[in-house]
Amino acid sequence: MSKEELEQQKQLQKNRKRVEKWLINNQNFINITGIEKEISAPKGLVQKFIKYDKKINDKWINPLHEVLKRIATFSLR
């Protein structure tokens, strides 16, 4: 593995931790379906993680991270 690939893996793991922790802590306050639609993810992706502890596929972590960053910063569109 090259140095660049290692950095990407490290960043992905950091983002995964942030996304998973945020989803669990805020599950009562978020519209799960709306978040899934925003990133064009399969229906139930986030719900299965929250309810059944099913791992979220790596390809959805960065899009989820971007959406959650927008939600958490309360930015106006």
Q: What is the pTM of this model?
A: 0.88
Total domain count, the chain: 1
Residue 38 lies in a domain: yes
Residue 11 lies in a domain: no
Look at residues 29, 64, 26 and name the one whose alpha carbon lies nearest to residue 45.
64
| pLDDT band at residue 74 using 50, 70 and 90 as cut-offs | confident
pLDDT in tens, 10-26: 999 999 999 999 999 99
Mean pLDDT score across all residues of the chain: 94
Distance CA 32, CA 50 (A): 10
Question: What burial class does residue 12 get, using C-beta atoms within 10 Å of its C-beta: 0-12 exposed, 13-18 middle, 19+ buried?
Answer: middle
> Averaged over 52-66, what is the pLDDT?
97
Residue 12 lies in a domain: no
Is residue 77 over pLDDT 80? no
Residue 24 lies in a domain: yes
Residue 4 lies in a domain: no
Residue 7 lies in a domain: no
Amino acid at 8: Q
Residue span of the structural domain in which 31 resides: 17-73
